[in-house]
Structure 1
Amino acid sequence: MMVHWHLLLTAWSVLCITVRGDSCSDACRTCAGPEHNQCLQCENGWILHDNTCVDIDECGTELGQCSPTTYCFNTEGSYECHGCDQACVGCMGRGPARCKKCSPGYRLTGAKCLDKDECSEIVLACPGLDEICVNVGGSFRCHCAEGYIRRDNVCLRKQLPSVDEKGLFDDIQDDEVEVLQQMFFGVVLCALATLAAKGDMVYTSIFMGAVAAMAGYWLSDRGDRMLNSFLKGR
């Protein structure tokens, strides 16, 4: 009877170790111990070999199911589908060297699908005389030359904004005109005063008349300003 109880306790302890998945290695679903070679059953994506869980390479079997525009990339316990290079139509791996076929605008050069330079290979790739060909991956674009703009699929010269020609004194302000007038009369008066100082009666008369005119203008202008100020004050 004691022997039967000992066997039952041993079986129970083994069962407990087997069921306790937290004590197993990562790939083991059930195990006889924490070591990686003590597995009894593996997780999905793994296969048991000599009590060790070995990763299944789904990409090397029919388990890896990826679309024609992607390729299979194996991971631990599973796989991923990665997109092909833009130069490829179908691929077996990453990059332009793993293409099954080259995309339009690309050609097989050596072991890689490389972009064709349509701008240098096609005569008059851009038909317009004012267009510039710009090569891009797998194709090309036609841009308008500098100083031109595309309108209705035609490159037209940009219209520069018209600027009316202005005279020398078109932008001058009223107060600036008054200053220039005063400077002009000042120069004239100085010249007349110089000639009058030599005793010439004609220039002396002109000088005195100019002074009187300037004084009258100054007084009349000052009187107008005082009158306007007085009227505004009322």
Structure 2
Amino acid sequence: MPSLWNCVLSATLCLSLLWHVLAQQCSDSCKACGGPDNNTCLACKDGWTLHNSHCVDVDECDTTSSGCPSNTYCFNTEGSFECRGCDSACVSCMGSGAARCKKCASGYRMSGAKCVDIDECGENELVCPGLNEFCVNKEGSFYCECAKGFHRKDGVCKAIQTTAAHEKGLFDDIQDEEVEVLQQMFFGVILCALATLAAKGDMVFTSIFMGAVAAMAGYWFSDRGDRLLDSVLRGH
């Protein structure tokens, strides 16, 4: 008797192991299977239905079981489904793209079987009624842009205030050496004029001429002397 019970127990364990192996080898859609191949299903997983011993995908989108929220549509997948967003041109839809809209969103209108953008700028000249602004169309809407040289402030396009660039004067970039040359030229012109008048025998202008020459010579020698002294002190 013990040997008989051992045989029965062994056979039961073997059958259980065989069933477990067969269950492990079932196709992805089968919950349990049997028969000559793993597609011969005895029961199906969720999202599948048994038909002639085979599990067939359930199209949840053909039923009311999907429960997708508003402005989305049901997209069937193997053994399940997804809720995907409608096109931006749609308020509600039956599928992907602007041609599957049930109703058009604001800024769009139905043209044939498709929701298309409304060009507010082309249809309404007063869409941007303010001065110095113009309309710019975009998908589903538009905006008002200020003209060049203007910016929006307090809801109104106002001229941009620019600071005038400082204009350089005639002598702004002049160097010290150039100033000295100009001074010498100026004194030279004065001396020439005085010399001309002195040559005519006018004693007043002769005196002025001689004084100017003396002053010019004194200035020149004084300036040269200062430079020479500075050079000596610096050791050059």
Q: TM-score, normalised by structure 1?
A: 0.74
1:44 equivalent in structure 2: 46
Q: Given the alignment, which residue of 123, 127, 135 partners 1:133?
A: 135
CA-to-partner distance for each residue in 1:63-104, whole Å, 9 max, x for gaps? 211101110111111111110111111111001111111111
Deviation string, structure 1 residues 160-185 (Cα, Å, up to 9, x no partner): 21234432222323344346657x58
Distance 2:86 2:219 in 1: 92
Two-structure CA RMSD over aligned residues (Å): 3.8
Structure-2 change in CA distance of 1:158 and 1:89 (3 Å)? same
Change (3 A) 1:36 1:127: farther
Aligned counterpart, 2:68: 66
Q: Distance in 1 between matches of 2:77 and 2:182?
A: 89
1:27 maps to 29
Is the CA contact (8 Å cut-off) linking 2:90 and 2:115 kept in structure 1?
yes
| Structure 2 unaligned regions, length at least 5 | 193-198, 200-210
CA 1:224/1:51 → structure 2, altered by over 3 Å: closer, same or farther?
same
Any idea what SS the aligned residue of 2:90 has? coil
User: Residue 68 of structure 1 contacts residue 90 of structure 1 at CA under 8 Å; is this kept in 2?
Assistant: yes
In structure 1, give the amino acid aligned to 2:105.
S
What is the match of residue 113 of structure 2?
111
In structure 2, what is the equivalent of residue 16 of structure 1? 17
Displacement of 1:105 in angstroms is: 1.1
In structure 2, do the counterparts of structure 1 residues 154 and 42 end up closer, same or farther at CA, with 3 Å as the change threshold?
A: same
The answer as to whether partners of 1:42 and 1:48 remain within 8 angstroms in 2 is yes
Could you say if the C-alpha distance between residues 175 and 14 of structure 1 is closer, same or farther in structure 2, counting changes exceeding 3 Å?
farther
Q: Which amino acid aligns with 2:78?
A: E
Shift of 1:212: 8.6
Matched-pair contact (CA < 8 Å) for 2:104–2:110? yes
Sort the Cα spacing of 1:219 and 1:15 in 2 relative to 1 into closer, same or farther, 3 A: same
CA distance in 1: counterparts of 2:110 and 2:57, whole angstroms:
35
Partner residue in 2 for 1:162: 164
Question: Is contact 1:126-1:133 (8 Å) kept?
Answer: yes
Q: Is contact 2:26-2:39 (8 Å) kept? A: no
For 2:174, the equivalent position in structure 1 comes to: 172
Opposite residue 115 of structure 1, the aligned amino acid is: D
Amino acid in structure 2 at the alignment position of 1:156: K
Matched residue, 1:91? 93
Q: Which runs of 5+ in 1 are unaligned?
A: 193-201, 203-208
Which residue identity is paired with 2:111? T
**Identity between Structure 1 and Structure 2 (%):** 59
Cross-structure match for 2:144: 142
Residue 75 of structure 1 corresponds to which residue in structure 2? 77
Does 2:102 match 1:100?
A: yes
Aligned residues: 214
SS at match of 1:72: strand
Counterpart secondary structure, 2:103: coil
